[in-house]
Amino acid sequence: MNVNFELYKIFYYAAKHLNYSNAAKELYVSQSSISQNIKSLEVQLGSKLFYRAGKGVHLTEEGKLLYSYIEKAFHIIKAGEKNMESLNSLESGTVRIGASDTICKYFLFDALKEFHVLYPKVNITINNRPSSISLNMVNKGLLDVGIININPHKKTAGYNIIKFKSFSSVFIASEERFGHLKGKVLSLEELSDLPLISLEKDSTTRRILDAFLEERQLGISPEFEFGSMDLILEMTKLNVGVGFVSEPAANSILGDGIFKLQLKETLPTIDIGIVYNNNIPQTIATRTFIELLESYGDDNK
């Protein structure tokens, strides 16, 4: 059976009003059109749905059974329309974001706070993962947007990437253990003799550093690797070694017995990008969040 759903809509209004004339007024059609379409539906279903009584009509037992289902379906559809309208007016919805702990802490909090104040009914979920994993989740449609460290050595075809911010990475150390290096300009070769602490190899920041060192034929292997920038800061304060961290992270503890090492070479800057999948339509909530985030970018300072 392949019934035109428009017939069920007409049936719903006729059964709701139990009057073809009133149903016709609500649907902006003629009364004869209502009558003809009801007859067509009855033929296709093989059942009588209405019988006349006075000026109106009444549902048969078959009509009552069908109406019990059509009424539920009608309200479900209307609820769907209402929810879609809410999404389009930022009265509901969810934006799924992927970003590392470091990016969240040092680059996103102000934007997230403002978005929540402006659109309190839109939920924000944050998946704290390294940039490479966030990029993969955006590709699979598991995230709406990723805020990632861009690896210039990795292709990102199929994505739309908006440059957000840039930062430099630095080496920091404690005065208690490495105070003799304060004010001294070190080469990368000299740096390689020190106990280094860095992020794990699967992080974009570490991959960019490794590529930079390989270009200069330097094989520097950190003695300690962690998955969190905050852990590197703590290990540096505990005199474990020389930490390799982003400059914003370093600035949070400089002057508290921690100093920045000076290098002869200039380390590469790292770009942070806002990335989304070109092949997946965005909700208005996601588009609005991206536009707000762009206003916090380096180009809008």
Beta bridge partners of 275: 146, 161
Residue 147 sits in the same domain as residue 287: yes
**Residue of 263, 243, 262 whose CA lies nearest to 253:** 243
Residue 112 sits in the same domain as residue 174: yes
Residue 79 sits in the same domain as residue 120: no
Is pLDDT above 90 for 209?
Answer: no
Residue 24 sits in the same domain as residue 105: no
User: In terms of pTM, does the model score above 0.75?
Assistant: no
- How many whole angstroms from its chain centre is CA 19? 50
Q: What is the pLDDT of residues 248-286, one digit of tens each?
A: 999 999 988 999 999 998 888 999 999 998 888 888 889
- Boundary residue ending a domain (67, 88, 109): 88
Residue 78 sits in the same domain as residue 198: no
- Boundary residue ending a domain (71, 88, 105): 88
- For residues 166 and 273, the answer to whether their CB atoms sit within 8 Å is no
Please report, rounded to a whole number, the percentage of residues in the chain having pLDDT higher than 70.
97
Residue 300 sits in the same domain as residue 269: yes
Averaged pLDDT for residues 221-250: 92
Residue 56 sits in the same domain as residue 179: no
Residue 30 sits in the same domain as residue 103: no
Q: What is the pLDDT of residues 24-49, one digit of tens each?
A: 999 999 999 999 999 999 999 999 99
Residue 257 sits in the same domain as residue 148: yes
Distances (CA, A) of 263 to 46, 56, 191, 241, 266: 87, 91, 9, 17, 7
Is pLDDT above 80 for 159?
Answer: no
Residue 126 sits in the same domain as residue 50: no
- Boundary residue ending a domain (59, 88, 117): 88
Domain region containing 274: 93-301
User: How many Cβ atoms sit within 10 Å of the Cβ of residue 4?
Assistant: 12
Instruction: Quote the strand ranges of 224-266, DSSP E.
Output: 224-226, 242-246, 258-260, 262-263
The CATH number of residue 52's host domain is: 1.10.10.10
- For residues 174 and 182, the answer to whether their CB atoms sit within 8 Å is no
Q: What local confidence, expressed as pLDDT, does residue 164 receive?
A: 93
Q: What is the pLDDT of residues 115-147, one digit of tens each?
A: 999 999 899 999 988 888 898 899 888 899 999
The CATH number of residue 124's host domain is: 3.40.190.290
- For residues 239 and 174, the answer to whether their CB atoms sit within 8 Å is yes
Residue 19 sits in the same domain as residue 105: no
- For residues 254 and 88, the answer to whether their CB atoms sit within 8 Å is no
Residue 198 sits in the same domain as residue 56: no
Q: How many domains does the chain have?
A: 2
Query: Where does the pLDDT of residue 2 fall: very low under 50, low under 70, confident under 90, or very high at 90 and above?
Result: confident
